[in-house]
Structure 1
Amino acid sequence: MLGLIIARLKTTIPSILGVIIVTFLLTRVLPGDTAAYFAGPAATPQAIAEIRSKLGLDQPLPVQFVSYVTALVKGDLGQSLTTGQPVTADLAQRLPASAELTLFGLLISMAIALPLGVLAAVRQGSWIDHLCRIVATAGVSLPVFFTGLLLVYVFYFILGWAPAPLGRLDAFASEPPRVTGFLLIDSLVARDPETFRAALSQIALPALTLAIFSLAPITRMTRASMLAVLGADFVRTARASGLSTRAVIGTYAFRNAMLPVVTTLGMVFSFLLGANVLVEKVFAWPGVGSYAVEALIASDYAPIQGFVLTMAILYVALNLAIDILYGVIDPRVRLEA
């Protein structure tokens, strides 16, 4: 298993280098002038030139790239002109909010999609199977921002069950002492049930939006994988041996059907990181997605580069975790490694 992890890490180095190069070049071709934006509409050409020189934007691209990589090796992602803070500090402050939202949405999706997919495969052609297809179609068809706006309209504006979509906590709740950055966990650590309920009510709708978005691929893959496994010889042998239906499905079929599902979960998690950008804007969620959008509007290079590089590292770490999980689920992977 250790050899497999080392081999995977070796293959990720070129990917990270490619992300660094492509991100640097793409930010330089974005429309708009960073110096002119921050100088203001009344700035003179001389003032704009001074700001451009101060930011190093008057240097040739190879010189700018070498400076960027040199700072990156030292762990310096630059400074955000929008917030006036180092990008590393901004990302460290906002990343837990995005991670909490993404993971909570994925957990809701898994809690619904996995049982639904298994039941749809076991009871093929029943109403549960048709419900599975409807859920999959709806999840693929509805844009994530439309789903978010629809949930806000129904549960906040019409029914009044949900709080105003204005961040992670309402105005009457105070943030607990920061331990993990996850408000749900930090409030439990601080033994503050009121803050926990406030954080849970705020995260419910955006997490449900992401869950609906990710229901379709997880449900369809679970159903298809279970159907393939239920028709295998070892499942028929287990049934012929007199094992109960629960043992056959839970012990034999579901575990062998999990490998394609785990792969799908990894892909869905990466999709959710991208969908976070829209969801955070709809719900005023203070995560890295809204941070990157604000920097993109202002042509602020450093936060955009830091955001893309952080997402790339998270994606690499996620794929590594999936490879390790393969070995836990299927011992044959460990033997091959």
Structure 2
Amino acid sequence: MSGLATIAKRLLEALPTLFGVILVTFMLTRALPGDPAVFYAGPAADAESIAQVRHAMGLDRSLPVQFASYVEGLAAGDWGVSLSTGRDVTEELSRRLPASLELTLLGLLIAIVVAIPLGVLAATRPNSWVDHICRIIVTTGVSMPVFFTGLLLVYVFYYLLGWAPAPLGRLDFMHIAPDRVTGLYLVDSLIAGDVEVFRASLAHIFLPALTLGIFALAPIARMTRAAMLDVLSSDYIRTARASGLATRTVLFTYALRNALLSVLTTLGMVFSFLLGANVLVEKVFSWPGIGSFAIDALVASDYAAVQGFVLAMALLFVTLNLTIDLLYAVIDPRIRAAS
């Protein structure tokens, strides 16, 4: 099966899931406490004004009619208008999504850089001090809530030591955001050749990314260690060592490459968890991403914004799973042959 055929098949398989997400999200938002018509009409509005707003928003119609109208709008590319900001939901998400993706990807990169070498070292030296450190880090990462880690890092590195800037967003008032190309400040500042803005962006994103990295480090390190231990005890590894191959070749060419299949699956799940943890981290660090946007929308019973956020997350998960399926074929030639 060709790569395009595989992508098309995976997308078709994802359609029922996306429809289920749309339906469940629609029903759950209607079950939220509060009335968006009351919020939109204002605190001084009387019952008649609220009824007029509810009629204008279509909330006085039956749920099946509202759902059919919502799906029809999605098919036309209309995700609705956010009551909180007055802008199209797609505009709000496209403006805020790069901030969340930049934070999530950098946090995942920090976790990978630390966790995979740590897991490999722990697997090659079982019950050594490296293995014990790996277990301590894994236990700590699993035990500490992500919001507590963020607050602790702010307290130590900003309040006590003064090494980090104030946790007030992506840049301070002394710097101007780079011209938007990708929406990722680190990338856009490099494209523009503005080293000062790059350093300022890196300084502001480091603590929230480190918070996510600590959260993601534990499952990646644990899976890397377990996968490497399993591979290193296999027959073909013993055969490779008996054949006189160098230890580095056996470890990285044969063992690690096969262990990466399990690690890659874990990375997909961890990335999904990080997108969820972003909601708390963005609030702690006043990060202008889609997580903080979703919380504000929930408080205001902003149906369109909440539904748009959940749908955007579902599309990201589908894209992530598709990417992982394609990476499987890159790492393991047997999967390409079976496709």
- TM-score range for the pair, normalised by the shorter chain length: over 0.9
RMSD value over aligned CA atoms? 0.8
Which residues of 2 match residues 322-333 of structure 1 at below 5 A? 322-333=324-335
Aligned residue in 2 for 1:166: 168
Shift of 1:4: 3.2
**Which of 305, 308, 322 does residue 306 from structure 1 map onto?**
308
Residue 89 of structure 1 deviates from its aligned partner by: 0.5
Equivalent position to 2:323, from 318, 321, 325: 321
1:234 aligned partner: 236
Structure 2 residues without counterparts, runs of 5 or longer: none
* Residue among 261, 264, 287 paired with 1:262: 264
What corresponds to 1:102 in structure 2?
A: 104
| 2:203 equivalent in structure 1 | 201
Q: What are the Cα deviations for residues 126-178 of structure 1, in whole angstroms up to 9, with x where unaligned?
A: 11100110111011100000000000000000000000000000111110110
Partner of 1:31: 33
Match of 1:278 among 263, 273, 280: 280
Counterpart CA distance in 1 for 2:283 and 2:219 is 24
Which residue in 1 is equivalent to 2:220?
A: 218
**Correspondence for 2:180:** 178
Which residue of the partner structure matches residue 148 of structure 1? 150
Deviation of the 1:237 alpha carbon: 0.8
Tell me by how many angstroms 1:40 deviates. 2.3
User: 1: CA distance between counterparts of 2:44 and 2:194?
Assistant: 50
Aligned residue runs from structure 1 range 10-49, under 5 A:
10-49=12-51
Structure 1 CA distance for aligned equivalents of residues 65 and 80 of structure 2: 15
2-side partners of 1:91 and 1:76: how far apart? Answer: 13
Match of 2:253 among 251, 254, 262: 251
Separation in structure 2 between the aligned mates of residue 102 and residue 321 of structure 1, nearest angstrom: 16
SS of aligned partner of 1:57: coil
Q: Return the letter of the residue paired with 1:236.
A: R
- Per-residue deviation, 1:244: 1.2
Q: Cα deviations across residues 281-313 of structure 1 (Å, max 9, x unaligned)? A: 000000000001000000000010000000000
Secondary structure of 1:242's counterpart equals coil
Partners of 2:168 and 2:211 lie apart in 1 by 15
> Which stretches of structure 1, 4 residues or longer, exceed 4 Å deviation after superposition?
none
Distance 2:129 2:9 in 1: 46
Residue in structure 2 matching 1:66, options 41, 65, 68: 68
Comparing 289-298 and 36-45, the one that deviates more: 36-45
Q: Distance in 1 between matches of 2:153 and 2:135?
A: 21
Does residue 336 in structure 1 map to residue 334 in structure 2?
Answer: no
Question: 1:121 aligned to 117, 120, 123, which one?
Answer: 123
TM-score, structure 2 length as denominator? 0.98
Paired letter, 1:222: T
- Cα deviation for residue 84 of structure 1 reads 0.6
Q: Distance in 2 between matches of 1:335 and 1:231?
A: 26
Residue type at the aligned position of 1:91: L
CA deviation after TM superposition for structure 1 residue 6, in Å: 2.9
**Please, which of 288, 292, 296 is the counterpart of residue 294 of structure 1?**
296
Q: Which amino acid aligns with 1:97?
A: A
Aligned length: 337
Q: Return the alpha-carbon distance in structure 2 between the equivalents of residues 256 and 72 of structure 1.
A: 42
1:7 Cα deviation after fit? 2.6
Shift of 1:11: 1.3
Aligned pair partner of 1:76 in 78, 85, 94: 78
